[in-house]
Amino acid sequence: MTLTVPLVLTFSASDPTAGAGLQADALTVSALGAHPLTILTGLTAQNTVGVVRFDACTRDWIDDQLNALLDDGIAPSAIKTGVLGSEGAVAAVMRVKGLWPSVPLVVDPVRASGRGDAFGGQTLFDSYRNQLFPLVDLLTPNWPEAQAFTGAHSVDEAGERLLQMGCKAVLLKGEHLDSGDVVNRLYVSGQKVVEFPCERLPGQYHGSGCTLASACAVGLGQGLSVQEAVELALEYTWQALSCGFAVGKGQLVPDRMHLMQYLEEDGDGDSVQ
């Protein structure tokens, strides 16, 4: 019997803490039973407090990484993007989507770190809106990102505008909204909005958005519907955050390997020796 493992191709920048970015993508994808393929889009000097420095990879470096995968006959089951950092990276994502138009593309439209450190300028984000969004199968913005891309004054207005820009589905995250529970909203063109409320956890977390988007990509790569993939990803991410731990002085890091604890018990609840 040959086991087929989904291949999730991620475009993202590095993070020395492995709390966010490429390392967070790889941990999440692996924890959920898929295999990560990684294209490095930029280098960061950052920690759990903030970003000290960010340098985007040159276009030729991004293209060479991608060409190496293509020359090896590697084809992804899903594609996920985080920090792109340059128009060259946007072009590379568009190239991949052009090669495999039926492969789901999940875009986490990161504009800045949680502290507000910018990962690009207006020209880059215009290329997101005008070139990338029409190819997106699932966009996962938080409220500040959705508002910045649309100029909307309400969550529903932002969701609808992002669909009008070409995104097939939008998961608008609710952690930045003033509410008791966090309410995440899924917008799919022609369908009723689906709300996913969850308990608001105390504290701040480094890389929660990377975790959620990568988990969504795994679900889509495994053949789940958008709603099924989102449900799986939200549950996985909430559990990872609830098990979050301190790496440094700042935000907690999600425990993306929390599912491993279940391997320590058998069906009767006894420890496996």
Q: What is the pLDDT of residues 36-52, one digit of tens each?
A: 999 999 999 999 999 99
Q: Are 137 and 188 in contact (CB under 8 A)?
A: no
Residue 116 has pLDDT above 70, yes or no: no
Distance of CA 251 to the CA centre of its chain: 18
What is the pLDDT at residue 264? 57
What is the pLDDT at residue 117? 63
pLDDT band at 64 (very low <50, low <70, confident <90, very high): very high
pLDDT band at 261 (very low <50, low <70, confident <90, very high): confident
What is the pLDDT at residue 4? 75
Buried b (16+ CB within 10 A) or exposed e, 202-241: eeebbbbbbbbbbbbbbbbbbebebbebbbbbbebbbebb
What value does the mean pLDDT of the chain take? 91
Give one word for 252, left, alpha or beta, with left for phi > 0 and alpha for psi -120 to 50: beta
- List, edge to edge, every strand of the sheet that includes 169-172: 51-56, 35-46, 7-13, 78-81, 105-107, 138-139, 169-172, 182-188, 194-198
Here the tokens at position 49 are 């407090």
Strands 7-13 and 78-81: parallel
The helices-and-strands tally (H runs, E runs) of the chain is: 8, 9
Residue 272 has pLDDT above 50, yes or no: no
Largest CA distance in the chain: 57
**Percentage of residues of the chain with pLDDT beyond 70:** 91
Report, as an integer, the average pLDDT of 206-229.
97
Q: What are phi and psi of 70, to 5 degrees?
A: -65, -40
Which DSSP symbol is given to 270? P
Here the tokens at position 82 are 């985080």
pLDDT band at 32 (very low <50, low <70, confident <90, very high): very high
Here the tokens at position 44 are 């960061």
pTM, two decimal places? 0.92
What is the pLDDT at residue 2? 55
Distance of CA 203 to the CA centre of its chain: 20
| Distance between CA atoms of residues 190 and 224, nearest Å | 19
Domains identified in the chain and CATH numbers: 7-264 (3.40.1190.20)
